[in-house]
Amino acid sequence: MSASVKDRLKRSEAVIGSWMQLPDASVAELMGAGGFDWVALDMEHGAIGAGALPDLVRGLEAHGTEPFARIAQGARTDIKQVLDAGCRGVIVPSVESREQVQEAVAAAKYPPEGSRGVGYSRANLFGRNFATYFANINREVVVVAQIESIRAIGNLEAIVAVPGLDALMVGPYDLSASMGLTGQFDHPEFKRAMETYESVGRRQGIPIGLHIVQPDAELLRRRIADGYRFIAYGIDAVFLSNNAINPLKAATRG
């Protein structure tokens, strides 16, 4: 059995995942068969609701891909919902403070380490595997904080100091927008913010991540060489959009 995403992050290995926004189990099977270490179900910007989670998780698990979810917000109920459906990791958007991370970690872990509600669910096969699941999930679950504002950059040292946080993921568009520089990734102020993000991650030993939205294998290799370890590559809808093109009309593509 291959090492888990969490174990590989602890060894400072790069784990490559992707993003899913389309709530379709067949898409989940295809993404799961794509060789990714993890795939995040996007409940913040995608069309995925709680009712779709079990089938999407099954589709990813069928090929050994770890199912993660980006929740809509850092609420305790959102985290419980995705973990009960069988997700093995939680990506929390718009984290700006130590307190937000503490709340997310507590929501992801059963007592006494946290405050996750205890009950039968799909994650423990509706009670059949409850004892095994309960005994192991606290040390196996992955909690990732998305850094998406200049305020978060300013609070980064405190954020990464929270026990139980496994990785960071930067949101470059939101980060640049919070600086009044939407999409201006070459602006010196944005570059300085990214340098802070990278240096704090290296200094504090927390894996840093980012999302390569448009597939680019060379860029992926460069980011791994730069020290990024939790990397999302592409989105299901982007893979489809890039290839669902009539080649005879590609020149007029809008």
pLDDT at 2: 77
H-assigned helices in 119-216: 130-140, 150-154, 156-160, 172-178, 188-204
pLDDT at 1: 58
* Residue 110 forms part of a structural domain: yes
Q: What is d(CA 214, CA 252) in angstroms, rounded to the nearest whole number? A: 20
- The residues near 77 (Cβ < 8 Å, ≥ 6 apart) are none
User: Could you read off the pLDDT of 76-105 as tens digits, one per residue?
Assistant: 999 999 999 999 999 999 999 999 999 999
Catalytic site residue from 45, 63, 187, 211? 45
Mean pLDDT of 12-28: 97
Report the residue count for the chain. 254
Can you tell me which residue has the tokens 């993890």? 38
Q: Are strands 89-95 and 15-20 parallel, antiparallel or unpaired?
A: unpaired
* Residue 250 forms part of a structural domain: no
pLDDT at 251: 64
Mean pLDDT of the residues in the chain: 95
* Residue 104 forms part of a structural domain: yes
pLDDT at 75: 83
User: Could you read off the pLDDT of 174-190 as tens digits, one per residue?
Assistant: 999 999 999 999 999 99
- Residue 236: strand, helix, or coil: helix
User: Could you read off the pLDDT of 200-213 as tens digits, one per residue?
Assistant: 999 999 999 999 99
Q: What is the pTM of this model?
A: 0.94
Question: Is 187 considered catalytic here?
Answer: no
* Residue 253 forms part of a structural domain: no
* Residue 252 forms part of a structural domain: no
- The residues near 57 (Cβ < 8 Å, ≥ 6 apart) are 28, 41, 67, 85, 86, 87, 122
Question: CATH number, domain at 33?
Answer: 3.20.20.60
Domain limits at 38?
5-243
CB atoms within 10 A of CB 52: 19
* Residue 199 forms part of a structural domain: yes
Instruction: Check pLDDT > 60 for residue 253.
Output: no
pLDDT at 252: 63
Count of structural domains within the chain? 1
The rounded Cα 136 to chain-centroid distance in angstroms is: 21
* Residue 204 forms part of a structural domain: yes
* Residue 57 forms part of a structural domain: yes
User: Could you read off the pLDDT of 33-90 as tens digits, one per residue?
Assistant: 999 999 999 999 999 999 999 999 999 999 999 999 999 987 899 999 999 999 999 9
CB atoms within 10 A of CB 185: 13
